[in-house]
Amino acid sequence: MSNYLLKEIAEHLVRAEVEKREVEKVTSTHKADLTVEEAYLVQKEIVEKKIKEGNRIIGPKMGLTSKAKMKQMNIEDPIYGYVFDYMVIENGGKLPLNEVIHPKVEAEIAFVMAEDVEGPGVTGVQILAKTDYVVPALEIIDSRYEKFHFTLPDVIADNASTSRVVFGSKLYRPEAYDLDLIGVTLSINGELKELGAGAAVLGHPAHSLAMLANMLAKKGDKIRKGDVILSGGITSAIRLEEEDVVSGKFDGFGEVSFHVG
Ligand code: 0L1
Ligand code: MG
Protein backbone atom coordinates (compact mmCIF):
# COMPACT_ATOMS: atom_id res chain seq x y z
CA MET A 1 0.00 0.00 0.00
CA SER A 2 1.34 3.44 -0.85
CA ASN A 3 2.47 5.86 1.84
CA TYR A 4 -0.04 8.29 0.43
CA LEU A 5 -2.96 5.92 1.09
CA LEU A 6 -1.70 5.09 4.62
CA LYS A 7 -1.60 8.81 5.42
CA GLU A 8 -5.03 9.36 3.87
CA ILE A 9 -6.58 6.60 6.03
CA ALA A 10 -4.86 8.04 9.14
CA GLU A 11 -6.22 11.55 8.34
CA HIS A 12 -9.69 10.09 7.77
CA LEU A 13 -9.72 8.36 11.19
CA VAL A 14 -8.32 11.37 13.06
CA ARG A 15 -10.97 13.55 11.38
CA ALA A 16 -13.67 11.14 12.55
CA GLU A 17 -12.33 11.38 16.14
CA VAL A 18 -12.03 15.19 16.07
CA GLU A 19 -15.46 15.67 14.45
CA LYS A 20 -17.02 13.00 16.73
CA ARG A 21 -18.51 11.32 13.70
CA GLU A 22 -18.73 7.57 13.09
CA VAL A 23 -17.46 6.37 9.73
CA GLU A 24 -17.69 3.19 7.70
CA LYS A 25 -14.80 0.79 8.34
CA VAL A 26 -11.76 1.52 6.18
CA THR A 27 -11.63 -2.02 4.80
CA SER A 28 -14.95 -1.20 3.09
CA THR A 29 -14.18 2.34 1.96
CA HIS A 30 -10.44 2.55 1.27
CA LYS A 31 -8.85 -0.83 0.70
CA ALA A 32 -10.54 -4.15 1.32
CA ASP A 33 -7.30 -6.03 1.88
CA LEU A 34 -5.60 -3.79 4.46
CA THR A 35 -3.19 -6.15 6.28
CA VAL A 36 -2.42 -6.17 9.99
CA GLU A 37 1.07 -4.83 9.20
CA GLU A 38 -0.38 -1.97 7.14
CA ALA A 39 -2.95 -1.28 9.86
CA TYR A 40 -0.14 -0.76 12.41
CA LEU A 41 1.50 1.63 9.91
CA VAL A 42 -1.76 3.62 9.78
CA GLN A 43 -1.83 3.61 13.60
CA LYS A 44 1.79 4.85 13.62
CA GLU A 45 0.79 7.75 11.33
CA ILE A 46 -2.01 8.65 13.76
CA VAL A 47 0.33 8.49 16.76
CA GLU A 48 2.95 10.66 15.00
CA LYS A 49 0.28 13.18 13.97
CA LYS A 50 -1.00 13.48 17.55
CA ILE A 51 2.56 13.96 18.85
CA LYS A 52 3.22 16.66 16.20
CA GLU A 53 0.06 18.42 17.42
CA GLY A 54 1.58 18.63 20.92
CA ASN A 55 0.01 15.61 22.60
CA ARG A 56 2.09 13.32 24.82
CA ILE A 57 1.95 9.52 25.01
CA ILE A 58 0.97 8.21 28.47
CA GLY A 59 1.73 4.67 27.37
CA PRO A 60 0.72 1.86 25.06
CA LYS A 61 -2.42 -0.16 25.85
CA MET A 62 -3.43 -3.72 25.17
CA GLY A 63 -6.78 -4.52 23.57
CA LEU A 64 -8.80 -7.60 22.65
CA THR A 65 -7.20 -9.50 25.55
CA SER A 66 -10.23 -11.49 26.71
CA LYS A 67 -10.98 -15.00 25.42
CA ALA A 68 -14.47 -13.81 24.45
CA LYS A 69 -13.23 -10.88 22.33
CA MET A 70 -10.48 -13.00 20.73
CA LYS A 71 -13.00 -15.70 19.81
CA GLN A 72 -15.44 -13.13 18.45
CA MET A 73 -12.71 -11.62 16.24
CA ASN A 74 -11.24 -15.06 15.43
CA ILE A 75 -7.72 -14.02 16.48
CA GLU A 76 -4.86 -15.63 18.44
CA ASP A 77 -3.05 -12.48 19.55
CA PRO A 78 -4.29 -9.30 21.20
CA ILE A 79 -3.63 -5.85 19.73
CA TYR A 80 -2.14 -2.62 21.03
CA GLY A 81 -2.75 1.09 20.70
CA TYR A 82 -1.62 4.28 22.46
CA VAL A 83 -3.13 6.42 25.22
CA PHE A 84 -2.41 10.19 25.14
CA ASP A 85 -2.44 12.83 27.86
CA TYR A 86 -5.57 14.56 26.52
CA MET A 87 -7.50 11.30 27.05
CA VAL A 88 -7.08 11.25 30.85
CA ILE A 89 -10.12 12.14 32.99
CA GLU A 90 -9.51 12.65 36.73
CA ASN A 91 -10.93 10.10 39.14
CA GLY A 92 -14.48 11.24 40.00
CA GLY A 93 -14.51 13.54 36.97
CA LYS A 94 -16.77 13.98 33.95
CA LEU A 95 -16.82 12.49 30.47
CA PRO A 96 -18.56 15.12 28.31
CA LEU A 97 -20.75 13.11 25.95
CA ASN A 98 -20.30 15.73 23.21
CA GLU A 99 -16.55 14.88 23.08
CA VAL A 100 -17.12 11.27 22.00
CA ILE A 101 -19.19 9.22 19.55
CA HIS A 102 -20.69 6.11 21.22
CA PRO A 103 -18.50 5.37 24.25
CA LYS A 104 -18.25 2.12 26.18
CA VAL A 105 -16.47 1.52 29.51
CA GLU A 106 -14.42 -1.43 30.75
CA ALA A 107 -12.47 -2.07 33.96
CA GLU A 108 -8.71 -2.64 33.72
CA ILE A 109 -5.48 -2.74 35.71
CA ALA A 110 -2.74 -0.33 34.62
CA PHE A 111 1.01 -0.75 35.19
CA VAL A 112 3.47 2.09 35.85
CA MET A 113 6.84 0.93 34.56
CA ALA A 114 10.05 1.35 36.58
CA GLU A 115 12.34 0.34 33.71
CA ASP A 116 12.42 -0.21 29.97
CA VAL A 117 11.36 -3.72 28.93
CA GLU A 118 12.56 -4.99 25.60
CA GLY A 119 11.49 -8.26 23.94
CA PRO A 120 11.62 -10.87 22.59
CA GLY A 121 11.16 -13.54 25.23
CA VAL A 122 9.79 -11.28 27.97
CA THR A 123 7.75 -13.09 30.68
CA GLY A 124 5.12 -11.91 33.15
CA VAL A 125 7.60 -12.39 36.01
CA GLN A 126 10.06 -10.02 34.30
CA ILE A 127 7.27 -7.48 33.81
CA LEU A 128 6.38 -7.56 37.51
CA ALA A 129 10.03 -7.11 38.46
CA LYS A 130 10.19 -3.99 36.29
CA THR A 131 6.89 -2.47 37.46
CA ASP A 132 6.87 0.39 39.95
CA TYR A 133 3.14 0.40 40.65
CA VAL A 134 -0.20 -0.96 39.55
CA VAL A 135 -3.32 1.17 39.55
CA PRO A 136 -7.00 0.40 38.88
CA ALA A 137 -8.50 2.08 35.84
CA LEU A 138 -11.65 2.50 33.78
CA GLU A 139 -11.01 2.65 30.05
CA ILE A 140 -13.50 4.38 27.77
CA ILE A 141 -13.32 2.96 24.27
CA ASP A 142 -14.97 4.75 21.35
CA SER A 143 -14.50 3.07 17.99
CA ARG A 144 -14.66 5.58 15.19
CA TYR A 145 -16.55 2.97 13.16
CA GLU A 146 -20.32 2.69 12.78
CA LYS A 147 -21.84 0.48 15.48
CA PHE A 148 -18.35 -0.71 16.56
CA HIS A 149 -18.29 -2.86 13.39
CA PHE A 150 -14.75 -3.58 12.25
CA THR A 151 -12.30 -6.22 11.12
CA LEU A 152 -8.98 -6.75 12.91
CA PRO A 153 -6.99 -4.39 10.62
CA ASP A 154 -9.74 -1.74 10.95
CA VAL A 155 -9.58 -1.67 14.74
CA ILE A 156 -5.75 -1.67 14.79
CA ALA A 157 -5.71 1.28 12.36
CA ASP A 158 -8.21 3.07 14.64
CA ASN A 159 -5.71 3.03 17.56
CA ALA A 160 -7.57 0.09 19.15
CA SER A 161 -10.68 2.25 19.79
CA THR A 162 -8.75 4.24 22.43
CA SER A 163 -10.61 7.33 23.65
CA ARG A 164 -10.44 8.18 27.37
CA VAL A 165 -9.20 6.69 30.65
CA VAL A 166 -9.78 7.28 34.36
CA PHE A 167 -7.00 6.09 36.67
CA GLY A 168 -7.50 5.35 40.37
CA SER A 169 -6.10 7.92 42.80
CA LYS A 170 -3.70 5.56 44.62
CA LEU A 171 -0.73 3.59 43.36
CA TYR A 172 -0.02 0.08 44.69
CA ARG A 173 3.17 -1.96 44.71
CA PRO A 174 2.51 -5.05 42.55
CA GLU A 175 4.16 -7.64 44.84
CA ALA A 176 1.44 -7.15 47.47
CA TYR A 177 -1.22 -8.63 45.15
CA ASP A 178 -2.11 -11.68 43.09
CA LEU A 179 -3.27 -9.60 40.15
CA ASP A 180 -4.99 -12.56 38.50
CA LEU A 181 -7.20 -13.01 41.58
CA ILE A 182 -8.27 -9.37 41.96
CA GLY A 183 -12.06 -9.21 41.76
CA VAL A 184 -13.69 -6.27 40.01
CA THR A 185 -17.27 -5.04 39.75
CA LEU A 186 -18.48 -2.46 37.26
CA SER A 187 -21.67 -0.64 38.19
CA ILE A 188 -23.66 2.05 36.43
CA ASN A 189 -26.09 4.22 38.38
CA GLY A 190 -25.69 1.87 41.33
CA GLU A 191 -26.63 -1.21 39.32
CA LEU A 192 -24.10 -4.03 38.96
CA LYS A 193 -23.46 -4.49 35.22
CA GLU A 194 -20.31 -6.62 34.99
CA LEU A 195 -17.89 -8.47 37.20
CA GLY A 196 -14.63 -10.28 36.62
CA ALA A 197 -11.16 -11.10 37.87
CA GLY A 198 -7.67 -10.15 36.71
CA ALA A 199 -7.24 -13.62 35.18
CA ALA A 200 -9.68 -12.56 32.42
CA VAL A 201 -6.69 -10.70 30.93
CA LEU A 202 -4.76 -13.48 29.20
CA GLY A 203 -4.58 -15.46 32.46
CA HIS A 204 -2.72 -12.64 34.28
CA PRO A 205 -2.44 -8.90 33.47
CA ALA A 206 1.39 -9.11 33.62
CA HIS A 207 1.26 -11.74 30.87
CA SER A 208 -0.53 -9.18 28.70
CA LEU A 209 2.34 -6.70 29.15
CA ALA A 210 4.87 -9.44 28.38
CA MET A 211 3.03 -10.04 25.10
CA LEU A 212 3.07 -6.29 24.47
CA ALA A 213 6.85 -6.11 24.96
CA ASN A 214 7.29 -9.06 22.59
CA MET A 215 4.96 -7.55 19.97
CA LEU A 216 6.74 -4.17 20.18
CA ALA A 217 10.10 -5.92 19.77
CA LYS A 218 9.00 -7.09 16.31
CA LYS A 219 8.73 -3.38 15.38
CA GLY A 220 12.09 -2.52 16.98
CA ASP A 221 10.24 -0.85 19.86
CA LYS A 222 9.93 -1.49 23.60
CA ILE A 223 8.03 -0.66 26.78
CA ARG A 224 9.59 2.45 28.31
CA LYS A 225 10.36 3.49 31.88
CA GLY A 226 7.51 5.74 33.04
CA ASP A 227 4.92 4.29 30.64
CA VAL A 228 1.48 3.84 32.21
CA ILE A 229 0.03 0.81 30.44
CA LEU A 230 -3.54 -0.48 30.34
CA SER A 231 -3.30 -4.28 30.38
CA GLY A 232 -6.74 -5.12 28.93
CA GLY A 233 -10.41 -5.36 29.88
CA ILE A 234 -11.27 -7.43 32.97
CA THR A 235 -14.97 -6.88 32.28
CA SER A 236 -16.91 -6.63 29.05
CA ALA A 237 -17.38 -3.09 27.75
CA ILE A 238 -20.70 -1.41 28.61
CA ARG A 239 -22.31 1.28 26.45
CA LEU A 240 -22.53 4.66 28.21
CA GLU A 241 -25.52 7.01 28.16
CA GLU A 242 -26.08 10.65 29.18
CA GLU A 243 -26.03 11.16 32.99
CA ASP A 244 -24.57 7.72 33.74
CA VAL A 245 -22.60 7.46 36.99
CA VAL A 246 -19.94 4.79 36.58
CA SER A 247 -18.09 3.00 39.37
CA GLY A 248 -15.45 0.28 39.22
CA LYS A 249 -14.65 -1.40 42.54
CA PHE A 250 -11.39 -3.34 42.67
CA ASP A 251 -10.70 -5.76 45.61
CA GLY A 252 -8.05 -4.14 47.79
CA PHE A 253 -7.55 -1.33 45.25
CA GLY A 254 -10.52 0.92 46.04
CA GLU A 255 -12.85 2.57 43.60
CA VAL A 256 -12.54 4.43 40.29
CA SER A 257 -15.48 6.52 39.12
CA PHE A 258 -16.69 9.17 36.67
CA HIS A 259 -19.96 10.48 35.35
CA VAL A 260 -21.18 11.17 31.86
CA GLY A 261 -22.28 14.76 31.23
O1 0L1 B 1 -9.37 -1.89 24.80
C2 0L1 B 1 -9.91 -2.76 24.10
O3 0L1 B 1 -9.91 -3.99 24.38
C4 0L1 B 1 -10.59 -2.33 22.85
C5 0L1 B 1 -9.98 -2.93 21.67
C6 0L1 B 1 -10.81 -2.64 20.47
C7 0L1 B 1 -12.03 -3.47 20.39
C8 0L1 B 1 -13.28 -2.73 20.70
O9 0L1 B 1 -13.43 -1.55 20.31
O10 0L1 B 1 -14.16 -3.35 21.28
MG1 MG C 1 -9.31 -1.80 26.94
Q: Is 233 in the pocket of ligand 1 (CB under 6 A)?
A: yes
Which residues, at least 6 apart from 66, have a Cβ–Cβ distance to it below 8 Å? 200, 201, 232, 233, 236
Give the mean pLDDT of 106-125.
Answer: 98
Task: Answer yes or no: is pLDDT of 238 > 80.
Answer: yes
Q: What is the pLDDT of residue 67?
A: 86
Distance separating alpha carbons of residues 201 and 78, to the nearest angstrom: 10
Ligand with minimal distance to 154 CA: 1
Task: Answer yes or no: is pLDDT of 32 > 90.
Answer: no
pLDDT-derived band at 30, boundaries 50, 70, 90:
confident
Using CA positions, which residue lies closest to atom 2 of ligand 1?
63
Give yes or no for a contact between 101 and 164, defined as CB atoms under 8 angstroms apart.
no
The answer to whether the peptide bond before residue 120 is cis (omega within 30 degrees of 0) is yes
DSSP reduced 3-state for 231: strand
Q: What is the pLDDT of residue 187?
A: 98
User: Concatenated DSSP letters for 177-217?
Assistant: --TTT-EEEEEETTEEEEEEEGGGTTTSHHHHHHHHHHHHH
Q: Helices 3-18 & 36-52, crossing angle to 10 degrees?
A: 60
CA of 109 to the centre of ligand 2 (A): 10
Tell me the average pLDDT of the chain. 96
CA of 221 to the centre of ligand 2 (A): 21
Using CA positions, which residue lies closest to atom 3 of ligand 1?
63
Q: Is 155 in the pocket of ligand 1 (CB under 6 A)?
A: yes
> Dihedral of CA 60/156/55/253: which sign?
negative
Q: What is the pLDDT of residue 2?
A: 87
Give pTM, 2 decimals: 0.97
Task: Answer yes or no: is pLDDT of 182 > 80.
Answer: yes
pLDDT-derived band at 33, boundaries 50, 70, 90:
confident
pLDDT for 152-168, tens place per residue? 999 999 999 999 999 99
Using CA positions, which residue lies closest to atom 6 of ligand 1?
160
Task: Answer yes or no: is pLDDT of 91 > 90.
Answer: yes
Distance separating alpha carbons of residues 246 and 190, to the nearest angstrom: 8
Half-sphere exposure of 136 (CA within 13 A, CB side): 27
